[in-house]
């Protein structure tokens, strides 16, 4: 009996989820289509029905994760009343603590960047990182204007925060002893944004400094 369109979409979703699990845990080279088929509870023929080969499935899994691991979209949905620093810190914490899709993106970046055939994958990941940088830059400009300041040096702040975020992920994966609980993620973000907040809101400086130190 021929499957309906809905059933085919369900099967495709199962394959993508199984592909995510296998690539995430074993890497690209150590993952076979047979292993993905077994994890998804389908035949290899079912995989080939939806995807031309392992490379095509890998690219689809990357897209699947990029849709779910774009923390910029998460940041846009956070409550408007959050402060500038807390909004960014919450985004970073969400990515570090609650989003395996973000971790997958970081894991496969090194592999893809050393394999020219996956240059398109690298470009997509760079696009996600670029959107995060642009989001931080815009948020910083808005914050400065709200407090009557001319937005200057926001590109440097956005770059510093983006690098800090990447550094936290690196520290998490190689376990160098850096504290990455929610409290410390908020503190690190506060330290980076502190000088700008001091300039824009000097009245908040003492409270913020106390929060960072304690």
- 99-119 in b/e form (b: 16+ CB < 10 A) is bebbbbbbbbbebbeeeeebe
The pLDDT > 70 percentage for the chain reads 89
Name 40's Cβ contacts closer than 8 Å, sequence gap at least 6: 11, 14, 15, 17, 18, 19, 46, 47
Reply yes or no on whether the pLDDT at 16 is more than 70: yes
More confident residue, 56 or 214: 56
Reply yes or no on whether the pLDDT at 185 is more than 70: yes
The pLDDT score that the predictor gives to residue 21 is: 95
The pLDDT score that the predictor gives to residue 32 is: 96
The pLDDT score that the predictor gives to residue 114 is: 93
pLDDT tens across 19-69, in order? 999 999 999 999 999 999 999 999 999 999 999 999 999 999 999 999 888
Mind spelling out the 3-state secondary structure of 100-153?
HHHHHHHHHHHHHHCCHHHHHHHHHHHHHHHHHHHHHHHHHHHHHHHCCCCCCC
Output the CA torsion sign for 24, 26, 32, 34: negative
Reply yes or no on whether the pLDDT at 207 is more than 70: no
The pLDDT score that the predictor gives to residue 116 is: 94
The pLDDT score that the predictor gives to residue 199 is: 59
pLDDT tens across 69-124, in order? 889 999 999 999 998 999 999 999 999 886 888 889 988 988 999 999 999 999 99
- Pinpoint the alpha helices (H) of the chain: 5-26, 33-40, 44-50, 54-68, 71-77, 84-98, 100-113, 119-146, 154-174, 182-200, 202-213
The pLDDT score that the predictor gives to residue 211 is: 60
The pLDDT score that the predictor gives to residue 146 is: 80
Q: CA–CA separation, 47 vs 40, rounded Å?
A: 10
Using pLDDT thresholds of 50, 70 and 90, give the confidence band for residue 205: low
pLDDT tens across 152-179, in order? 778 888 898 999 998 888 888 777 788 9
Name 18's Cβ contacts closer than 8 Å, sequence gap at least 6: 36, 37, 39, 40
Nearest residue to 83 (alpha-carbon basis) of 213, 178, 181, 207: 207
Q: Tokens in use for 137?
A: 């830059």
The pLDDT score that the predictor gives to residue 44 is: 94
The pLDDT score that the predictor gives to residue 2 is: 60
Q: CA–CA separation, 100 vs 96, rounded Å?
A: 8
The pLDDT score that the predictor gives to residue 82 is: 92
């Amino acid at each position: 009996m021929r499957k309906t369109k809905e059933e085919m979409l369900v099967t495709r979703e199962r394959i993508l989820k199984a592909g995510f699990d296998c690539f995430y845990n074993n890497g690209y080279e150590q993952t076979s289509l047979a292993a993905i088929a077994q994890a998804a509870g389908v035949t290899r023929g079912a995989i080939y029905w939806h995807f031309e080969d392992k490379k095509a499935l890998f690219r689809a899994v990357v897209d699947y994760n990029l849709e779910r691991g774009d923390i910029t979209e998460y940041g846009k949905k956070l409550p408007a009343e959050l402060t500038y620093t807390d909004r960014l810190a919450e985004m970073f914490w969400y990515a570090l603590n609650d989003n395996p899709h973000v971790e997958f993106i970081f894991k496969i970046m090194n592999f893809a960047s050393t394999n020219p055939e996956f240059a398109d994958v690298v470009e997509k990941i760079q696009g996600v990182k670029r959107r995060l940088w642009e989001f931080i830059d815009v948020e910083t400009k808005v914050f400065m204007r709200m407090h009557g300041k001319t937005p200057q040096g926001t590109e440097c702040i956005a770059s510093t925060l983006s690098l800090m975020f990447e550094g936290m992920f690196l520290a998490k994966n190689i376990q160098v002893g850096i504290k990455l609980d929610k409290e410390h993620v908020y503190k690190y973000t506060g330290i980076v944004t502190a000088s700008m907040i001091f300039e824009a809101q000097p009245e908040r400086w003492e409270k913020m400094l106390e929060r960072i130190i304690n």
